[in-house]
Chains A and B, each alone.
Chain A
Amino acid sequence: SQQGEEDPQALSIQEGENATMNCSYKTSINNLQWYRQNSGRGLVHLILIRSNEREKHSGRLRVTLDTSKKSSSLLITASRAADTASYFCATETSNDYKLSFGAGTTVTVRA
């Protein structure tokens, strides 16, 4: 089974609204990363949070990490049509440096 699991699987919101998605993982990590994938394209890195950090911001993105619950959340504020994409969390595990991905959340932003 995969290391990371995103929730929800799909999300549809109106332009201007906020989008929140969650990620849970199973084993000890060095860091957790979020990526975006537009349809048919490669993945693009959005933000990385280290295991000793609790919150991080980058533009309209806010990421939190709770290592005690083995979970993270990604918040996209004031969403735009261009934010329509699939979002994946990835964890780098502590013991073997694997970078493992979850199944992703598909976000649709309606104009």
Chain B
Amino acid sequence: NAGVTQTPKFRVLKTGQSMTLLCAQDMNHEYMYWYRQDPGMGLRLIHYSVGEGTTAKGEVPDGYNVSRLKKQNFLLGLESAAPSQTSVYFCASSYFSDLNTEAFFGQGTRLTVV
């Protein structure tokens, strides 16, 4: 059982380049989340989705776009990368809120923008 898988694990981008981070979960979870983690800041929510075809903004959505075309996948896009987007990105998924269950996390993607 793979759980939550993030691709890639590491990436170096030049300023202005674009890229897509892929999050895949095999637990049939409805909710999926993208976070970024910077030193001393904890995890900050970028975007999230409460079901296939839906997305919503989190605390720090600027500069990012997301799509949830399939229930098992949640894509995070950077259209024009900036050094301020250097961070570790985590994806998470969980069941419906009514079940009050925990979120499962991927191992993270370390992104450096130079």
Contact = CB atoms under 8 A, between A and B. Distances in A.
B97 A92 contact: yes
Nearest to A101: B43
Nearest to B31: A97
Interface in A94-111: 96-104
A104 B42 contact: yes
Contacts of A48: 100-102
A98 B48 CA distance: 8
A88 B45 CA distance: 14
Given A2-B59, A30-B97, A43-B90, A99 B103 contact: yes
A103 to B, nearest CB: 4
Nearest to A106: B40
B92 A99 contact: yes
B45 A45 contact: no
Query: Residue among B33, B44, B100 with the most chain A CB within 10 A?
Result: B100
A102 B107 contact: no
Interface of A: 2, 6, 30-31, 33, 35, 41-45, 48, 50, 88, 90, 92, 96-104
30 contacts: A2-B44, A6-B42, A30-B97, A30-B100, A33-B102, A41-B107, A41-B108, A42-B90, A42-B107, A45-B103, A48-B101, A88-B42, A88-B43, A90-B103, A92-B97, A97-B31, A98-B45, A98-B48, A98-B58, A99-B31, A99-B33, A99-B48, A99-B94, A99-B103, A100-B59, A101-B43, A101-B44, A101-B45, A103-B42, A104-B42
